Chains A and B, each alone.
Chain A
Amino acid sequence: MMIERNLVIVGGGPAGMAAAISAYEQGVNDILLLERDQYLGGILNQCIHPGFGLDYFKEILTGPEYADRFIKKIRDIPQIEINLQSLVVDLGADKTLTILKPGLLQQVRAKALIMATGCRERTREMAHIAGTRPAGIYPAGLAQKLINIEGLLPGKEVVIVGSGDIGLIMARRFVLEGASVKAMIEIQKQAGGLLRNVIQCLDDFDIPLYLCHRIACIYGKKRVEKVGIIKIDDQGNDIPDSHFYIECDTILMSVGLIPENELIEMAGVAIDRKTNTPLSQELNKTSIPGVFVCGNAFKIYDLVDSVSGDSGQAGVLAGEYLKKKN
């Protein structure tokens, strides 16, 4: 017999936790929260820098501190069952989830479903950068994990591609770890990340930011040796003879995030192929009734505070949907 649950939430990051708490407050009982990691908190666990919570808690917290506030709250609610080390591997149109746990593969059918699966980083491949494929090219978030969680230094002479917040935060982190950050290369006319991060992470450390420049080529056989850089004009065309090289052993890619929506896509939810988000007119809704999406999976947010705020709405929607059904 298939196990059936009222509300299943996939993802135990800030979005999933906020949705679970708000669904409970709506009167939904029997909530199952699935998280593939060994901890709740999602991406916040590797964001050890301060800068979280100013809007939501009116305090400046680090990522783990921010997550902790929600973890404490959610642990106190017995109606929310938390399953860690539980990876959802498949999702059917009838909201049947296939879940992989240590030593166990099982299926659960949800009456209502909230997906809070976060996002992944865009890679060098997606940015279509020519050249070789040596060791030393990392998505910025992976570098962050290597340094902050594993205590490993990925490289010593770094060029960062793209100027999103993760790239900015990592520029400062590498300098603090004793590495040299030689440049940040941004194709747009202005930095992608928050102004405060540009000031605190680049300017304060004299890291040059090359706006209107792009990486043309990566060199190096085994490990990165250098990058070729070109200046571009207002129309986005390469400026002849503007080509120059920077020697480095590491390239960090900070070229954007992509919502993780492969599971709902499998289930048949309509997806915008450009943004990889659910096609939707309303916050947190999808083309399948009873399937909701929140947090970075719904759209990419700059601030976790807005994730927590908006994701509560998913819990409300799920509550209303279940009331109507029962």
Chain B
Amino acid sequence: MNKYDIIIIGGGVVGTAISRELSSYKLKIALLEKEEELAFGVSKSNSGIIHPGTQNRPGSLKGRLCLQGNALIREISRDLGVEFKEIGELIVVFSQEEVSRLLQLKQEAEILGVSGLEVVDQAWLKEHEPNLSREIVAALYAPTAGIISPYRLAYALSENAVLNGLEIYTQSLVQNILVMTPVRHFGSTSLFEITTERNTFQTNYIINAAGLYADEISQMVGINNFQIRPRKGEEFLLDKKQQDLTNHLIFPLPTKISKGVIVIKTFAGNPMIGPTAEDVENKEDLSTSEQGLEKVIRMAQRMVPSIDKKDIIAYFAGLRPVADDDFIIRCEDKVPGFVNVAGIQSPGLTAAPAIAQLVGRILKQNGLVMEKKKDFYRQRKKTVHLSNLAFSQAKELIQTDRSFGDIVCRCEMVSAGEIREAIRQGAVTLDGIKFRTQAQAGRCHGGFCTTRIMKILAQETNRPLTAITKRGRGSEIVKEDRADDD
């Protein structure tokens, strides 16, 4: 029997941030994830924005954690070698009447503690964002907004946590939780038995960070006080050729349910437009629609008229796990030792590091003895990405290690060396390699490099080509290997 102090359910950015935070204490911790790799849930399909806190109610938990997360991400990204770019955002308006809304947003954000806000006029916009619509009259500028690769962040967090003792179990769908000794007096905890597809675990504390399925996990211990409803967001990625389209993140005025369709600049340089916001029934419904595309194009063009449908090279949909208006982060009194981290919709990526610290405090308040490790390894070696290097650096690297000069994906300039590195860091699927390295993420969509990546993955993981998948069992790329027939 595997026995732990804490088990975290769900390996998205929230679960991995919590893992990393808790791995700095003398505790035995495991992370359970149903997919074949981490960050295959909500954390892989979002806008990648580190929000400044401008679109949240001042009193909300979301707003507070967003602001704290925005501050924390700087240090974390430096420690973990994940690129964070503070490019700033502009919330734009089309009439003088709407300027009062900007002032109101500014005031609310300032109460929350967002700094550096400024309302800028047309002259400023013309100078700093030449491609914006001439009909935009003013904008609220928030310099602390930034962008990051959400999956690279989650992978870096988990790698660092493993270095500090975390144990990860993938392909481990939690099916059942038994509360063994429910003790009711204050400060004591329970003993849980968790059953997955392949294992049984015991633990004193459970952190439920299961994203879209947090309600189902919670129900397993008898807590039924919230329900997760998926809210779909479709996003469309543009060709890197358009990387100078905008310099900042461009937002419209927010609506009640979302921040609106944004013109985003992704960490890789490609512009991206979206997301939509539509409530759906099915937690697995990741389809995009023709209506979604039309809507996003129309709304994005209103802000940046030169955006062209022809430049779209990829699209995807993500589902926001919506419970209430706000995040639910609490230890459930009825089941001591069970902590819900649920309804983590936007800005969950931004807030993740702050959520992690809050969970630490909640555990302490609920009786867990938490002693810092003396030998906590804060840093992670930065992963090399050839395309980020200057000519002289690239030249030197290639001379020392030839595999970095062996280009596999030529749209994004990813070498065999980088792909092997990603596999060593834990990638076992083509999507896992794509998220870590960008290989297959460019304009040809893997048309040229898929076979080569499959071969490297098969070789490094000692599997036949027929076992190589896009994103786990059932998504095999090829059905038969004729060379194996004889």
- A122: min CB distance to chain B, Å: 9
Say if the beta carbon of A74 comes within 8 Å of chain B.
no
Are the C-beta atoms of A142 and B286 separated by less than 8 Å?
no
Residues in B neighbouring A133, C-beta threshold 8 A: 286, 316
- When chains A and B are docked, how far (Å) is the Cα of A89 from the Cα of B395? 13
Count contacts on A: residues with CB < 8 A to the other chain. 47
Q: Give per-residue flags for A210-232: 1 if the beta carbon is below 8 A from chain B beta carbons, else 0.
A: 00000011010111000000000
Instruction: Give residues 311-329 of B contacting A (CB, 8 Å).
Output: 312-316
Instruction: Give residues 106-133 of A contacting B (CB, 8 Å).
Output: 120-121, 123-126, 128, 130-133
- B44: min CB distance to chain A, Å: 12
**Residue among A87, A125, A156 with max Cβ neighbours from chain B (10 Å):** A125
Residues in B neighbouring A156, C-beta threshold 8 A: 479
Are the C-beta atoms of A152 and B465 separated by less than 8 Å?
yes
Interface stretch, picked from A8-16, A52-60, A95-103, is: A95-103
Residues in B neighbouring A142, C-beta threshold 8 A: 446-448, 450-451
- When chains A and B are docked, how far (Å) is the Cα of A155 from the Cα of B476? 10
- When chains A and B are docked, how far (Å) is the Cα of A235 from the Cα of B233? 31
With beta carbons under 8 angstroms apart, the residue of A123, A145, A150 that contacts B313 is A123
Are the C-beta atoms of A153 and B480 separated by less than 8 Å?
yes
Say if the beta carbon of A285 comes within 8 Å of chain B.
no
Say if the beta carbon of B186 comes within 8 Å of chain A.
no
With beta carbons under 8 angstroms apart, the residue of B287, B316, B445 that contacts A123 is B445
The secondary-structure label for the interface of chain B is mixed
- B240: min CB distance to chain A, Å: 9
Are the C-beta atoms of A89 and B413 separated by less than 8 Å?
yes
Are the C-beta atoms of B241 and A104 separated by less than 8 Å?
no
Say if the beta carbon of A139 comes within 8 Å of chain B.
yes
- When chains A and B are docked, how far (Å) is the Cα of A146 from the Cα of B395? 33
Count contacts on B: residues with CB < 8 A to the other chain. 53
Residue of B nearest to A224 (CB): B475
- B45: min CB distance to chain A, Å: 10
Residues in A neighbouring B399, C-beta threshold 8 A: 103-104
- When chains A and B are docked, how far (Å) is the Cα of A216 from the Cα of B308? 21
Residues in A neighbouring B198, C-beta threshold 8 A: none
Instruction: Give residues 220-265 of A contacting B (CB, 8 Å).
Output: 221-223, 249, 262, 265
Are the C-beta atoms of B407 and A87 separated by less than 8 Å?
yes
Known A103-B398, A125-B315, A151-B483; contact A222-B475, beta-carbon cutoff 8 A? yes
- When chains A and B are docked, how far (Å) is the Cα of A123 from the Cα of B450? 14
Residues in A neighbouring B402, C-beta threshold 8 A: 102-103
Instruction: Point out residues on B near A: beta carbons under 8 Å.
Output: 241, 284, 286-290, 292-293, 308-310, 312-316, 391, 394-395, 398-399, 402, 405-407, 410, 413, 443-448, 450-451, 465-466, 469-483
7 A-B pairs besides A150-B465, A152-B482 with CB distance below 8 A are: A100-B398, A101-B405, A120-B448, A126-B313, A130-B293, A142-B451, A152-B478
Q: List 6 A-B contacts (CB under 8 A).
A: A89-B413, A104-B405, A105-B395, A123-B447, A126-B310, A132-B286
Top 6 nearest A-B pairs by Cβ distance? A222-B474, A135-B470, A135-B475, A222-B475, A153-B480, A151-B482
